[in-house]
Amino acid sequence: MKEESYREPSIDKKESESVDNQSEGKDEMQDIMMEEEVNKVDENEVEYSKTSFIIPSCSAWFNIDKIHEIEMQSLPEFFCGKFPHKNPATYMDYRNFIIKLYREAPNSYLSATGKHSWLNTI
- Report pLDDT digits (tens) over 37-54: 655 555 555 555 556 667
pTM: 0.51
How confident is the model at residue 78, as a pLDDT? 95
* Predicted confidence (pLDDT) at residue 28 exceeds the cutoff of 60: yes
- The helix/strand count (H/E) of the chain reads as 4, 0
* Predicted confidence (pLDDT) at residue 27 exceeds the cutoff of 80: no
Instruction: Say if CB 61 and CB 68 are below 8 A apart.
Output: yes
Per-residue pLDDT reduced to its tens digit, 13-24: 555 555 555 556
CATH (residue range 61-119)? 1.10.10.10
**Domain limits of the chain?**
61-119
